[in-house]
Each structure stands twice: as structure tokens, then as C-alpha cells.
Structure 1
Amino acid sequence: MTGVLAALGAAMAWTGASALWRSLSGRVTAIRLNAMKNGLASLLFLPVLLTLPQDTEMQAVLLLLISGLIGIAVGDSFYLGALRRLGTRRTLTVEASGPVLASIAGVLVMGDSLGVKNGLGALLVSSAVVLIALKAKKTNQRDQGVIAADLGPGLLLAFTAVICGLSGAFLARHVLISSDLTPLQTAAIRLLGGWLGLLPFFKGIWRQTNLTRREQWRLVTATVIGTNGGILLQQVVLQSMPVGEGVTLMATAPVMALFLGRMEGDPIQLSGVAAAGLALAGVACTSL
């Protein structure tokens, strides 16, 4: 039950934070926004890093740093870039393809067999992405040019973010089940890895962005909820549940994001509900 509640909590945290991050994406580039939020998140977890046991295995720490570099520094930068182009609900729906891509990678790399359920899951998620594209084409003429131009790059960024996120999650899962590190400690080390990977973008970052006080509070709130809270809950999930089941529950984010559509000028429509439903059904078929 702990893993289930943590997974649903992580999905809720990422959904709410995504809307706040997207509201800032017009003022800050994706990479700079990622650098700012990871710098803040690492600072909040600094006491955890300073109290790590002296006998902590260096190999485990190194794997977590690499996990943070791939999944947080690189993956989140692509994710934030996709948010700017696709919007919260569309981006999170594409993110729901994670388990499908993991299954395909298992066939190509590990030699796993692709069963009927996995094949059906891939078909359902692919259908969801098609619905997203069709919905973009049906928008009004004023928005259509912008969305059409952003759709291809946005989907590419979103899928790349999925791959990076899965790579980081599998590395973190390996450390959590093979070492004595707690989810809080692994979350702190992963965030440190993401922060180190984004160090080149920190020079003059606050002076150049010129965020208003209200926007700064949005950044802090989104960081605490989506980065610190979301990653901590994710580590609890990875420790207590198989990756497939955990990712399936965390993929409920697109359904939660449906309620944010109206706030972003993207009202809920039947195609959006169907896309989210198909994506979740595909994730369930692939992972359960």
C-alpha cells in the first residue's frame, strides 16, 4: 500500500508542478529553468547529503550521480522543452509511453519476448499519440500555426525525456535494492548529480532571468512539490514495487492533468479524454 500511495502522490506532485513550470517557460529557457529548480532542490536536500554514512559504497553513489545526470539534468531539460511546445496534458500523455518503450528496449537489448499484452499496450499508446496530433490540428486558426510548428519538436523532446527518465529510474532501482541507502538519501544524491550536470548554466542565471517575486514563488513552490517531493516519492516507489507496476501507477498523471487544461486555454474535449484513457490502458497492458 505504501508504494501505491507514493506512486499516486508522485503523479499528483508532477502534474501540479508541471503547470507551474510551464507558466515560467516563456521567461526562462528549458535548460536554465531546469538548472534553477535543481539548484534549489539540491540546496533543500543539503542536510541529507552532509549526513550520509561514511561507509556508503562509492559505486552506489556514482550510479546515483549518473542516474541524476541522465534522468534529471538531461531528461528534465527535454521534458520542460516539451511542456513549452505541447502543454501539460499532451506532454504527460506522451510520457505515459514510458513502460512501452521499456518493453521494446527489453526485447532489443535483453532478448525478452514481446507478449500479446505488451503488443496491445504499444498499439494503445501509439493511438493516444495520434489523437494528440489530430487534436492539435483541430485548434483554431490563430493557434494552429504555432501548434503545428511545435508539434514535431515537442513530441521528439517528450519521447527523449521518457528514455532519459527510464534510464535514470532503472539505475536508481538497482541501487535501492542492492544497497542500504534510503529513498531520501538516493533522492538527494540523484538531485546532486542533476545539479552537477547543469553547473555550466548557473553563471549569472538569476540576474539574467529577472523573474518577478510572484514568479520566484512559483518556481520555489513547483520545485518543492515536483522536484523534492516528486523524486522522493518516486524513490519510495522504486524501492517498494517493481518498476513496471510503479511506473504504471505514476502514469496516472495524464488523467490528473485533464483538470489543468482549462487553466492553460486547452479545455477538456472527448479526444483528450480518449487519448489519456488509451495511454493509461496501454501502460496497464504493458506493465501489469
Structure 2
Amino acid sequence: MVYGIVGQHIPPLRLNLIKGIVAIALLILTILLTGESWSISNPMTILLLCLSGVIGISWGDTAFLGAINYLGARRVLLLSTLAPPMTAIAAMIWLQESLNLTAWCGIFITILGVAWVVTERVPGNIDHSSAHLWRGIGLGLLAAIANAIATIISRVAFTTGSITPLWAALLRLGAAELILFGWMFLPQSQAQATSSPHGQTRRIIFAACFAAFCGTYLGIWLQQTAIKFTSAGIASTLLQTSPIFVIPIAICIGEKVSWRAIAGVIIAIIGIGLLFFASVEPLP
């Protein structure tokens, strides 16, 4: 929700760079406070995690933030629901992770519930012109594909070597930030940065840092934890359920929530329950 507001003031590339810098600082602080040691013995694990960060964060997150500006958060979240089935199918092909019938039912029901929530028509000021629509769809699909590929690569990294999710999150973000820094020096990126509005800079930067704490620092750390300890398809599905958590937040801030949105949340929760039931069963 915060990124949807901040994205109107900060270009996607710069916003992605800011949230990554904040998250890296917090991850390093966490490592220093917890004393978590570097335990990677296989260089391939480092390479895979860095590649996952470049694809999923520098490319995928930038495309995601750009798509929000063209389509709005709900439409982009709908396109994001394509990532779990793509991840599950790719995991079957490349990782031989065959999910049982309960897990597939859970994935389908969860995606159905999320889609039911995000496809509800809401008033907004998004430009619905054809050019913006197709550009937003293209960026949204790119974000979903990058998300699926990055999840698979992270899963492979965890199976090839011993590494904690905290260090994995730091490696992924570090590699992504290096690419984003280089990206910022491209002429087109510099032009966007120069033309971006600078009003309410302190409030916008504070909001971006708050979103980085919740969505990037905690989000990527927990994401890597999920990918390490469960199958890629189940982890990816659970990671796409954020729209159902927007509903109670909307209620708390006084927004009117429809019965359709509540029904979508209930459907998604049923799907999540099936996924948890499937995840405690031995995976083939």
C-alpha cells in the first residue's frame, strides 16, 4: 500500500535502489547483533543466490513497481498470481518437486481467492489508455516471470550448500543493488531521475524506508526462510497472499470493505489451510 503512494513521487528504479540500501543496512545490523556466522562452503551457492537477486529484485521488483504506476496495485497483484503455478511447474521440471493433490488444490483455491479480491472494481486515478495498459501488463508479466525464476534459483541454492536465510537475503540484495547502481547511470534512467518530482521529500523518503523495513528487510528474509524449508510451489503461493492482508488494514483505517472482498479472503484462507496441511505431509 505504501509503495503505491510512494511510487507516484519516486521513479521505480530509484525506489528499488532506496529500499535495497535500507534493507541491506538492516540485514548487516541484524547479523552483527545475532552473531550469525558465515557458513557457506560451496561457491556455487553464492553464485546462484546472487543470480537470483539480480533477476528477482533488480529486474523483477523494478518491473513490479513500474507496473503499479500503470495499472494500479490490484491489477498488478492479479498478474502476480501467475507466479505460483509457474514456480510449481518449473520446480517439477528442474527440481523434481512433485506436489500432492492436496497441495495443488490449495494453490488453486488460494489463487482463486486472491484473484477474487484484486479483480474487484475500485475507484482510482490510473490512466486506462491503451499504451499504458499494455505497458503495465508487460511489466506485470515480466515481474511474475522474474519472481518465479528467482524462487527456483534460490531453492536450488539452498539444496546445493548450507546457508542461512539471513545471509541468503543479504547476498541477493547485495547483488541486486550492484546492478541497480549501474542501471542508474544509463542515460534514460538519469533523465527519469532528473524529471521526478521533489515535493515532500522527507515524508516520501520516510515512507519508502518504512516500506523497505516491512517489505524488503523482513519480507526477503522471511521469503528465503520459506523457500529453504518448504517446496518452491507452496512458498511462492503463500508469498502471493498479501492482498488478503490488505483487507484488515483497510478496515482499520476506516475504508469500506465489500462482502466480495471478505469472501475472497475466506476462500484464500481455505486454500492456505490446505497448503499448510500438505506441507506437513512428507513431500515426494
In the superposition, the TM-score normalised over structure 1's length comes to 0.71
Paired position in structure 1 for 2:65? 80
Deviation by residue 1:89-142 (Cα, 9 ceiling, x = unmatched): 443343233222224446787899999885996698579758856x44xx66xx
Distance 1:233 1:73 in 2: 18
Paired position in structure 1 for 2:218? 229
1:234: Cα distance to partner?
A: 1.0
Which 10-residue stretch deviates more, 226-235 or 94-103?
A: 94-103
Paired position in structure 2 for 1:16? none
Q: CA contact under 8 A between 2:63 and 2:142: conserved in structure 1? A: yes
Paired position in structure 2 for 1:39? 21
Q: Which of 1 and 2 has higher RCO (CA within 8 Å, sep 6+)? A: 1
Unaligned runs of 5+ in 2: 279-284
Q: CA contact under 8 A between 2:70 and 2:126: conserved in structure 1? A: no
Closer, same or farther: CA 215–261 of 1 in aligned 2, 3 Å: same
Alignment of 1:264-283 (within 5 A): 267-273=256-262
Paired position in structure 2 for 1:154? 136
1:197: Cα distance to partner?
A: 1.5
Choose between structure 1 and 2: higher helix proportion: 1
Paired position in structure 1 for 2:242? 253
Q: Which residue identity lines up with residue 102 of structure 1 in the other structure?
A: T
Q: 2:176 matched to 1:194?
A: yes
Distance 2:39 2:271 in 1: 44
Q: CA contact under 8 A between 1:40 and 1:223: conserved in structure 2? A: yes
Paired position in structure 1 for 2:162? 180
1:271: Cα distance to partner?
A: 4.5
Which 10-residue stretch deviates more, 88-97 or 102-111?
A: 102-111
Aligned partner of 1:91 among 69, 72, 76: 76
- Over aligned residues, Cα RMSD in angstroms? 4.1
1:25: Cα distance to partner?
A: 0.8
Unaligned runs of 5+ in 1: 1-18
Q: Which residue identity lines up with residue 237 of structure 2 in the other structure?
A: T
Closer, same or farther: CA 285–152 of 1 in aligned 2, 3 Å: farther
Closer, same or farther: CA 116–60 of 1 in aligned 2, 3 Å: closer
Q: Which residue identity lines up with residue 81 of structure 2 in the other structure?
A: A
Paired position in structure 2 for 1:68? 53
Paired position in structure 2 for 1:164? 146
Distance 2:10 2:157 in 1: 34
Deviation by residue 1:34-91 (Cα, 9 ceiling, x = unmatched): 1221123223334659x87496432211111100000011110111122223433443
Distance 2:163 2:40 in 1: 11
Distance 2:253 2:181 in 1: 31
Q: Which residue identity lines up with residue 203 of structure 2 in the other structure?
A: R
Which 10-residue stretch deviates more, 208-217 or 272-281?
A: 272-281
Q: CA contact under 8 A between 1:89 and 1:257: conserved in structure 2? A: no
1:215: Cα distance to partner?
A: 1.3
Distance 2:98 2:157 in 1: 26
1:153: Cα distance to partner?
A: 3.6
- Helix, strand or coil for the counterpart of 1:146? coil
Q: Which residue identity lines up with residue 30 of structure 1 in the other structure?
A: P
Distance 1:115 1:181 in 2: 27
**Percent of pairs with identical residues:** 24
Closer, same or farther: CA 254–208 of 1 in aligned 2, 3 Å: closer
1:166: Cα distance to partner?
A: 1.7
Paired position in structure 2 for 1:214? 203
Distance 2:50 2:160 in 1: 16
In the superposition, the TM-score normalised over structure 2's length comes to 0.72
Q: CA contact under 8 A between 1:131 and 1:275: conserved in structure 2? A: yes
Which 10-residue stretch deviates more, 154-163 or 193-202?
A: 154-163
Distance 1:257 1:129 in 2: 13
Q: CA contact under 8 A between 1:128 and 1:274: conserved in structure 2? A: no
